[in-house]
Amino acid sequence: MQIAKDKVVLVSYELKIESGEVVDSATVEDPFAFIHGNGHTLEAFDNNLNGLNVGDTFKFELEAEDAYGLVVEENVVSIPRGAFGEMPEDEMVEGAELPMQDNQGNRFYGTVLEFDEENVLMDFNHPLAGEKLLFSGKIVDVRNATAEEISHGHVHGEGGHDH
């Protein structure tokens, strides 16, 4: 079966950044499962898999602009240390990804770049912003998504989850 919109796709893959560092992967035994073309993966990732079949291999690069975007300097902000309340010292470390919430209740993560007793410098860019992504992998399985999977927006069963 060929990959197209609303197909459940299972892939094994390795994701590297330009430095060669592997930043994510999925194996044949524990593949990444998604519904193709429903907006839960990068559009450029989906586009590169269009038309492939079970057993096909893939290898492609995504420029930062087609992946998680460029680094936006305005997304690096200094926040008063008091805004974090009584955070344990072992949680306030450089490189920590901290859960945050805006005034509208939206949840997101920020990375601690540095801190002192008064302020915390946080980066709210995606961790892979500014990076060229190098994907390689294999199509493990392709099947039609069920109506329930499409309405829920995620895969059920193998590679997905059960309710």
Q: Which fold has domain 73-123?
A: Thrombin, subunit H (2.40.10)
- For residues 131 and 67, the answer to whether their CB atoms sit within 8 Å is yes
| Domain positions in the chain | 7-68+129-152, 73-123
- What is the model's pLDDT at position 31? 97
**7-68+129-152: CATH topology:** Chitinase A; domain 3 (3.10.50)
Segment (H or E) for 46: helix 43-49
Taking only the tens place, the pLDDT of each residue in 22-64 is 999 999 999 999 999 999 899 999 999 999 999 999 999 999 9
| Distance, CA of 46 to CA of 123 (rounded, Å) | 28
The reported pLDDT for the residue numbered 161 is: 54
What is the reported pLDDT for 13? Answer: 98
- Residue spans of the chain under pLDDT 70: 158-163
Total-model pTM: 0.83
